[in-house]
Amino acid sequence: MMLIRSLALLLVAALAAMPALAQDRRVPASAAELRLSYAAIVQRVQPAVVNVYAAKMVQNRNPLMDDPIFRRFFGVPGQQPEQMQRSLGSGVMVDPSGLVVTNVHVIEGADQVKVSLSDKREFEAEIVLKDSRSDLAVLRLKDSHEKFPTLDLANSDELMVGDVVLAIGNPFGVGQTVTHGIISALARTQVGITDYQFFIQTDAAINPGNSGGALVDMTGRLAGINTAIYSRSGGSQGIGFAIPANMVRVVVASAKSGGKAVKRPWLGARLQAVTPEIAESLGLRLPSGALVASVLPNSPAARAGLKSSDLIVAVDGQTIEDPNAFDYRFATHPLGGTSQIDVQRGGKPVKLTIPLETAPDIGRNEIALTSRSPFQGAKVANISPAVADELHLDTDTEGVVVTDLGDDTTAANVGFQKGDIILAVNNQKIAKTSDLEKATRESARLWRITLMRGGQQINVTLGG
């Protein structure tokens, strides 16, 4: 018994001698410490977490109207009545002037957005910036003339698995709610939610309505924006995902600078994951890193000396497990200056210096197609390096790509998807947007369309 007590005293003494940061992560030394409350942290951060309400008008469609026989015998009625479709989520105040960060999917397609503060006051909000690639949006409160409480952003690279975190949001619309848990995993890259697959996983209860809310560390700083759950029932099952604060910082900085889109560094190379088979062929102990499949001429990667078959293993000292991890690390660097990349080339280490600059966007020529055709309501663009980077297309891809689809448009209803590359229409090759615009102005009873989706060529025939 004396030996156990002596060991306990030594443990407490050792913990007391550790640096302040480590003390924040120490194991509780007594049962009394386990009874400590999170109330002080919650009281400090809760005023900066808001509820976000989005609404849009949708036409109340009768599915029978899609049946030509029904339309023939019963006629087509006038304008169908519209109804208000509402969604709810959460947000975080990140600037005293009234800037709120939330998820794009919370406010997507909204005609009206309202923000409710923790003191029950409501403000209309305007959408300042939407970044679909990260699923982050920034709102600004309208007609506000005061300074609002905000959350400081943590350095999410300093988070560790096992750290205690709090999730604050508006689950199921019941009102602002706090749950607690730990960080279950970091750098989750196989989630399939956004372009940047690099999430904080937590077991703090997150439910529908928590999207856009705060994941807070024990210093009261914003560790991440809660954005998704893994669930078979629709409720929390202890697996939630948050966008790291370092990505939030990039999007908020773009909004504060007046940008309408987030500009990020461009590598100019196509990367692929290292499979166990590839690892064995390269003589690697573990299937880890990002393998360079191709390099675009005159790109930052080419000018830095990056070559096909190089294996990227680190960016500025941060280990790279796969291409998704590289994309995140590279995308969270500020433009200007350089980044140091460690690669393995023929089994030997090589250090490269990559300039941090945006992809050229010359010749995008993005247009909206309005003529009566299967493409009506779609936005298309020529594939510039910037477009290829945004849509994760191969660096050498050419042609015309669908960049956006309006809600309930002909193009969306027909089944076109963002990222579809249009190759030909009615046997006419489509090389640029003007070719497609011209093709859609020609009336046709049948539309024969060839497109590329996910690397596969698809031929479809549609009625006029």
Strand partners, 101: 92, 138
Per-residue pLDDT, averaged over 308-324, amounts to 91
Quick one: which of 155, 227, 237 has its CA closest to 203?
237
Domain end among 247, 280, 298: 247
- 281 an active-site residue? no
Distances (CA, A) of 47 to 42, 175, 235: 9, 13, 25
- Same domain for 374 and 341, yes or no, is no
Per-residue confidence at 388, pLDDT binned at 50, 70, 90? Answer: confident
Residue 97 lies in a domain: no
Radius of gyration of the chain (CA): 26
- Same domain for 213 and 183, yes or no, is yes
- Same domain for 215 and 240, yes or no, is yes
Per-residue confidence at 119, pLDDT binned at 50, 70, 90? Answer: confident
In the chain, the amino acid numbered 137 is A
Per-residue pLDDT, averaged over 325-352, amounts to 90
The sign of the CA dihedral 152, 153, 158, 164 is: positive
Q: Is 221 left (phi over 0), alpha (psi -120 to 50) or beta?
A: beta
- Same domain for 166 and 212, yes or no, is yes
User: What is the distance between the alpha carbons of residues 363 and 155, in angstroms, rounded to a whole number?
Assistant: 38
With 60 as the cut, is the pLDDT of residue 84 above it? no
Q: Which entry of 211, 254, 339, 384 is annotated as an active-site residue? A: 211
- Same domain for 430 and 452, yes or no, is yes
Element (H, E) at 459: strand 456-463
Residue 388: is it exposed, middle or buried by C-beta count within 10 angstroms (0-12/13-18/19+)? buried
Element (H, E) at 257: none
- Same domain for 278 and 318, yes or no, is yes
Residue 29 lies in a domain: no
> What totals of helices (H) and strands (E) does the chain contain, helices first?
13, 25
- The angle formed by the CA atoms of residues 244, 245 and 251, to the nearest 5 degrees, is 105
Per-residue pLDDT, averaged over 332-343, amounts to 91
**CA 170 from centre of chain:** 20
Contact 240, 201 (CB under 8 A): yes
Residue 373 lies in a domain: yes
Residue 325 lies in a domain: yes
- Same domain for 319 and 386, yes or no, is no
- Same domain for 321 and 385, yes or no, is no
Per-residue pLDDT, averaged over 306-334, amounts to 90
User: Tell me, what's the pLDDT at 231?
Assistant: 52
Residue 150 lies in a domain: no
- Same domain for 384 and 441, yes or no, is yes
Strand partners, 448: 461
- Same domain for 375 and 454, yes or no, is yes
With 70 as the cut, is the pLDDT of residue 79 above it? no
Residue 239 lies in a domain: yes
Instruction: Report the CATH number that the domain containing residue 448 is assigned in CATH.
Output: 2.30.42.10
Q: HSE of 338 in the Cβ direction (CA atoms, 13 Å)?
A: 11
**Token pair of 120, please?**
């029950």
- 119 an active-site residue? no
Instruction: Report the CATH number that the domain containing residue 230 is assigned in CATH.
Output: 2.40.10.10
Per-residue confidence at 3, pLDDT binned at 50, 70, 90? Answer: very low
What domain count does the chain have? 3
Q: 245-256 and 323-331 helices cross at what angle (nearest 10)? A: 40
Least confident of 29-38, 48-57, 129-138: 29-38
- Same domain for 342 and 397, yes or no, is no
With 60 as the cut, is the pLDDT of residue 18 above it? no
- Same domain for 281 and 311, yes or no, is yes
Per-residue pLDDT, averaged over 197-220, amounts to 84
User: Tell me, what's the pLDDT at 380?
Assistant: 92
Per-residue confidence at 136, pLDDT binned at 50, 70, 90? Answer: very high
Alpha helices (H) in 357-396, listed in sequence order: 385-390
Q: Which entry of 87, 116, 134, 135 is annotated as an active-site residue? A: 135
Per-residue pLDDT, averaged over 404-414, amounts to 82
Residue 21 lies in a domain: no
- DSSP assignments along 113-156, one per residue: EEEE-TTS-EEEEEEEEEETTTTEEEEEETT--SPPP--PBP-G
Three-class SS state of 205:
coil
Domain end among 355, 382, 409: 355
Tell me which residue range forms the domain holding 282.
269-355
Residue 298 lies in a domain: yes
Q: Which entry of 105, 217, 342, 435 is annotated as an active-site residue? A: 105
- 394 an active-site residue? no
Residue 262: is it exposed, middle or buried by C-beta count within 10 angstroms (0-12/13-18/19+)? buried
Q: HSE of 387 in the Cβ direction (CA atoms, 13 Å)?
A: 25
**Token pair of 91, please?**
């947000």
Alpha helices (H) in 216-361, listed in sequence order: 245-256, 276-282, 300-304, 323-331
| Residues recorded for the chain | 464
